[in-house]
Amino acid sequence: MSGEEPSPRAALSALSDLVVLAEPLLLRVWRSSRVTLGHLRVLRALRDQERSPGELAALVGVSAPSMARMLASLETRDLISRAIDLRDRRRIEVSLRPLGRELVASSHVWRESAFARAAQALDPDQRESFITAVSRFTELVRRESEGLDGSAAGGAESEMRAGER
């Protein structure tokens, strides 16, 4: 490196490069299952247990209204079900339906990708630095996005959601 401090613009340029590489993969997921990456995150969060919409919103990192829209879309497609908790009738429980379980089991989009091979090629210190930096960046973007929609999704995922309407 040149010894100069990297600019925020350089960070955004690197992010843009990564998004350009990821978009075809995201579009492939969308075309094959008509499910966005956000929807897949919700389905994966339900893989092992039922959860409330609030828990799901926190896990996925979206606002309550965004989660409500996601759940309505998934429920319409018979991938999830929502039911009143019999122990606490004020609470709603969301669970996977058989079609949702099947979709989660069959979606390993990242596992066989160039992204997985690149992650494997990083040495452990590089992976740790990458995880730390991306996690911190994601946290900051979410914090900056709060109050807008609660989600920082854009690009292909926004385009895919528009196709649902």
pLDDT digits (tens, 9 = 90+) for 50-64: 999 999 999 888 899
What was the pLDDT predicted at 72? 97
Side-chain-side CA neighbours of residue 11 (13 Å): 10
What was the pLDDT predicted at 57? 94
| Dihedrals phi, psi of 81, to nearest 5 degrees | -135, 150
Question: Is the predicted pLDDT of residue 163 greater than 80, yes or no?
Answer: no
> Could you tell me whether strands 92-96 and 80-84 are parallel, antiparallel, or unpaired per DSSP bridges?
antiparallel
Using pLDDT thresholds of 50, 70 and 90, give the confidence band for residue 154.
very low
All domains of the chain in start order, with CATH: 10-164 (1.10.10.10)
The CA distance from 35 to 29, in Å, is 7
Question: Is the predicted pLDDT of residue 149 greater than 70, yes or no?
Answer: no
